[in-house]
Structure 1
Amino acid sequence: MIDPKAQREASGAGLRIGDVAPDFSVRSTVGQVRLSDYRGRWLILFSHPADFTPVCTTEFVALASSADKFEKRDCALMALAVDSLFSHFAWLRMIRDRYDIEVRFPIVEDPTLVIGRAYGMVAPQDNDSATVRTTFFIDPQGVIRAMTCYPANVGRSTPEMLRTLDALQAVDEGPVLAPANWAPGEALLAQPDASLDTVFSAKGQTDWFIREAGRGSRK
């Protein structure tokens, strides 16, 4: 299960971007999994409110359909819910029979909410995670680089998950920034040069802090 020390540290103010993701070992639909075993590659850890729910089902169909796109980016997927392992199995069988797609990424069980609470997916006083749809983008060093949180009645956007992953990987390639709505192949921005000489010598009023810095790779 989750490291008790990490749980205590995370249960206060909650996890933030830049924190190391708390490690855990737990049963999943693909066997026992440990978060730290994914070091060396990207990992997207996301919670879903419950098995056999309409929005979650559409999310899993969409993510399973795009699993090869995440794999191309050297990124694994891992889902978490409070339901039992056998509930996960029954739900995945239903998805396979109804939508003709197999969900092969691990879905971990968290019936005691210990992982969900450590990650701030549920509040300490909550008895279930039915109101939480949280996503953590974890880099190869195990550091949380981005987080999103949606309500139970709004599903995630798989294209936006891929775009966020692309942007995080692109900015890791150099001292660059990903602007609004950036997509692979579009221009990235250079880090501003914090020097008065640069400010005064720039041709345009914004040229000293908004400058293109090449284009991100296409996926």
Structure 2
Amino acid sequence: MSLRIGDTAPDFEIDTTQGPIRFHDWAGGAWVFFFSHPADFTPVCTTEMGRTAQLAPEFEKRNVKPLGLSTDSVEEHRAWISDVEATQHTTLKFPIVADKDKAVAAFYGMIHPGEDDTAAVRSVFLIDPAMKIRLTMAYPMTIGRNFSEILRAIDALQLTDRMTVACPADWQPGDRVIIRNSLSDEKAKEQFPQGFETLRPYLRLTDIGSGA
């Protein structure tokens, strides 16, 4: 099964480091940063788990709940968390899924046989409160994720949900945004009284500060 942007994230019941969960119920109307890692007690994964824990306040203020996954057991996860906390100087509070039979990893397409037959690659799914998949990424086993990009993507998704805008290349919060072509100039003047610059009929830029 190939999951795509706009698909409903498949629900599942599974054991985690914080007890059994049903995924959709656990999400509870929040955004979800659902991510897989190849294996516990490995170096890149340790830094990624630590970075996710360090960024807990950033995820919380965006109403995002992190959920990790690998094909290790709950017992292995719990033992490894101690290493993560000790080496990355943080406290890990989010759950990690124990996908021992690889069912969830297979359902979400996290196992790429060209990379490894059994271990999950570094997949990312950003899922909105309606449980729709809004963004996917996949990193190889040797390269840790860019968490600045993950936060930037969350900010962009949440902004474009609130306003009739799109985010240009390399957009950062506070940068100018693009007024969508579905909005007429007349409607754009109503929604963006601060004004906008028209570079081409299809390219209109406006400044919304840090995002309305």
> What TM-score comes out, normalization by structure 1 length?
0.84
What residue is the counterpart of 2:55 in the other structure?
66
Distance in 2, Cα, partners of 1:173 & 1:156: 27
Alpha-carbon RMSD across the aligned residues, in angstroms, is: 2.2
Q: Identity over the aligned pairs, expressed in percent?
A: 41
Distance in structure 2 (CA, Å) of the matches to 1:94 and 1:29: 15
Structure 1, unpaired ranges of 5+:
1-10, 196-203
Q: Does 1:211 pair with 2:204?
A: yes
Tell me the number of residue pairs that the alignment of Structure 1 and Structure 2 aligns. 198
Match of 1:49 in 2: 38
State which of 115, 118, 122 in structure 2 corresponds to 1:128: 118
State whether residues 117 and 124 of structure 1, in contact with CA within 8 Å, keep that contact through their aligned partners in structure 2: no
Q: Per the alignment, in what secondary structure is the counterpart of residue 172 of structure 1?
A: helix
Shift of the alpha carbon at 1:193?
A: 5.3
Q: 1:214, CA displacement in angstroms?
A: 3.6
Moved more, 73-82 or 39-48: 39-48
Residue 187 of structure 1 aligns to which amino acid in structure 2? R
Contact 1:88 1:107 in 2 (8 A): yes
Instruction: Name which of 77, 91, 95 aligns with 2:66.
Output: 77
Match of 2:18 in 1: 30
1:95-121 per-residue CA deviation (whole Å, 9 max, x = no partner) reads 223333111111001111100010011
Structure 1 moving runs of 4+ over 6 Å = none
Structure 2: distance between partners of 1:213 and 1:92:
45
Aligned equivalent of 1:142, options 128, 131, 134: 131
Describe how 1:174-189 pairs up with structure 2 within 5 A.
174-189=163-178
Letter in structure 1 aligned against 2:101? T
Task: Please name the residue that 1:19 is paired with.
Answer: 7
Unaligned runs of 5+ in 2: 185-196
Aligned residues of 1:193 and 1:208 also touching (Cα < 8 A): no
Shift of 1:194: 8.7
Partner SS for 1:211: strand
TM-score, with structure 2 as normaliser:
0.86
- Contact kept in structure 1, 2:50 and 2:85, CA below 8 Å: no
